[in-house]
Each structure stands twice: as C-alpha cells, then as structure tokens.
Amino acid sequence: MILKMDRLLHKLPEPKNPSPNDAAAVQELMGGKFGEMSTLMNYTFQSFNFRGRERLRPFYDVIASIAGEEYGHIELVSYAINMLLTGSTKRGHDPEPGPLKNVVDARNVHHFIASGQQSLPMDSMGHWWTGQNVFSSGNLKLDLLHNFFLECGARGNKMRVYEMVTDPTARELVGYLLVRGGLHVVAYARALEHLTGVNVTKLVPVPELSNKAFPEARKLEESGQHLKLYTFSPNDYRRAGEIWNGFHPEDGQPLEVVFGAPEGVPVPDLHEEPQLNSPGAEDFDMGMFQDVAKKMGIKP
Ligand code: MN3
C-alpha cells in the first residue's frame, strides 16, 4: 500500500518568467523513456513481481524503497512544469481577444489544448509515456543491471535538460533530481556488487561529469542529500541497509539509511486560469462546504 502526504519533496523557487518551452523540455524528465514515470513504474512493477523475497529480502527492500521515492519525483516534476506554465497566457473569461494567442508557437500546445496549462504524462516531443518503458524480467541480476542503466540514462538526459533551460525553477528541479537519481545509480551499483562481487561503482559517474559541476546539485550534496536512502515507509523495508552501507564512491562520505520519508515542503498553490476554464465550476457554492465543515468540526 502507499501512504500519501500533501507535501512536496523539495522547495522550487518561483519562475522568473513563464517559460512554456522550458516546461516542454522538462516534460522529458516526466514522461520520456528515461523519465521519472519510467523509474517509478519499473521499480513499482519489479517490487510487486519480486519472487523469493524471503531469501533475497535486502534487494527487495532497496527496490521498494526507491519506488516510493520515485512517486515523489513525478510529483515534483509535475509542479515544476505547472509553475513554468503559469502566466503564459492572459487570464480572463473573454475568448474574443484570443487569450491563448501567445502560446500558439509553444513547443507543446497540448499544455494549452489538452490540459489547463498543466503537466502531462508525455515526453519533450509530445509522445505519451508508455508501459513499454517498463522492464520487469523477473531475473534479479538482469533487473538490477537494467535499473543501473536506466538511472545512468536518466542522468544523461537530466544534464542535457539542465543545459537547455535557464529558468531557476527548472534548474533547481534538475539539480535535485541529479542528486537523488545519482544516489539511485550508486544504490543499484551496490546491489549488483552484493549480488555478484563485481565492482560496479568503479563505472560511476556515467556520464563522466560530476553532479558537483551543477551549482544546484553541489549545494544539495554539501548538505549530504546524496548519502541518505529513505525507505518511504514508517516500519518496513528495514533491510535496505544491508545493501546501502559503506562509503560514497565519489567523495568517500558514509552512506546512511533513513527510515521514513524526508519532511518535505508545502505544495505550491496553482492559481485559476479562467481563459482555459480551469478549474471552472464558477457557480459552485463555497458556503455549502463551510456549513458541512462547521457541523463536522473540520478545521480548514
Ligand atoms: Mn527519480
């Protein structure tokens, strides 16, 4: 089961300007082949499908813990896209002046036609994410090799998106994902080492550029965010520490398992976009909920 919290994993700064094209590039980190939807669904299916978990429990615990974190990553990418899209069009109810005319040349007009100026489960070219991106062979060595490759591929794409976007919201997002995805690269390398004895961490980093070259990532690594594997569970997955231990291969600092989830930050409020009828419901009577809340003693 999953336990949900109305919190975001990391604080994103407000965008300097609306940037529909930065948002379109960031979509690759959502619904691209190597995006967060792919990491989430790969580890989710592999953990659901895991056979022989009593014998191989620590491997199961690592994959399941990382699957939990990836849910928070798609959520964070979604908010970054939403924040970058906010303000791209002129707000108002009157269609006649063409309030969406600014975005007819945007890279991804699905943001304005198929959604209310919001993130979508697609890549930077507007291709919908597909379950064909999920690899769950049932063979532990093969699945871990795939996961190591997937995280390295994701790392490469994150770096290129960083080099493409200039908005601070987008760059902070990518910096954070580089740090946490970098940790997942090392986790799958360590898992393969425990399983096979092969020194996979010698391959790290792939691509060769260090996270420390990116100012937003460097700042987070200085506070140790590349060292802590969270279980995203109050009581379970406690044997992840039998794999996540020792020292970070790049800077030699000690690795640590944290039971539970990071505290997170409040979820940003997304304002209404009346020109897109989003969310609409203009005649909804707010007083009705206020009366119900009062009767039930629910605090806002
Ligand atoms: Mn991720």
| For the chain, domain boundaries | 7-296
Cβ atoms of residues 38 and 32 within 8 Å: yes
Structural tokens at position 299: 């605090």
Residues in the chain: 300
The alpha carbon of 36 and the centre of ligand 1 are apart by a number of angstroms equal to 5
The alpha carbon of 282 and the centre of ligand 1 are apart by a number of angstroms equal to 37
Provide the terminal-to-terminal Cα distance of the chain, rounded to the nearest Å. Answer: 27
Distance, CA of 48 to CA of 105 (rounded, Å) = 43
The pLDDT value recorded for residue 286 is: 86
Task: Give the residue ranges of the chain where pLDDT is below 50.
Answer: none
Q: Does domain 7-296 have CATH number 1.20.1260.10?
A: yes
Distance, CA of 276 to CA of 200 (rounded, Å) = 50
The alpha carbon of 70 and the centre of ligand 1 are apart by a number of angstroms equal to 5
The alpha carbon of 180 and the centre of ligand 1 are apart by a number of angstroms equal to 7
Residue 69's contacts (CB-CB under 8 Å, 6 or more residues apart) are 9, 180, 184, 230, 232
The pLDDT value recorded for residue 46 is: 98
The alpha carbon of 177 and the centre of ligand 1 are apart by a number of angstroms equal to 6
The alpha carbon of 276 and the centre of ligand 1 are apart by a number of angstroms equal to 31
Distance, CA of 53 to CA of 17 (rounded, Å) = 49
Amino acid identity of residue 6, one-letter, is D
The pLDDT value recorded for residue 52 is: 97
Distance, CA of 78 to CA of 85 (rounded, Å) = 11
The alpha carbon of 242 and the centre of ligand 1 are apart by a number of angstroms equal to 22
Question: Measured between alpha carbons, how far is residue 132 from residues 116, 147, 156, 277 in Å?
Answer: 27, 15, 20, 34
The alpha carbon of 178 and the centre of ligand 1 are apart by a number of angstroms equal to 8
Angle at 109 between CA 108 and CA 114, to 5 degrees: 115
The pLDDT value recorded for residue 300 is: 72
Q: Which residue has the tokens 């919908």?
A: 128
Q: At what angle do helices 140-164 and 57-85 cross, to 10 degrees?
A: 20
The pLDDT value recorded for residue 299 is: 84
Distance, CA of 82 to CA of 67 (rounded, Å) = 23
Which alpha helices (DSSP H) does the chain contain, by range? 20-31, 36-49, 57-85, 110-113, 140-164, 168-196, 215-222, 286-296
Secondary structure (3-state) at 122: strand
Cβ atoms of residues 75 and 9 within 8 Å: yes
Question: Which residues are registered as beta bridge partners of 247?
Answer: 254
The alpha carbon of 120 and the centre of ligand 1 are apart by a number of angstroms equal to 17
**3-state secondary structure string, 193-238?**
HHHHCCCHHHHCCCCCCCHHHCHHHHHHHHCCCCCEEECCCCCCCH
The pLDDT value recorded for residue 134 is: 98
pTM of this structure: 0.97
Distance, CA of 19 to CA of 165 (rounded, Å) = 9
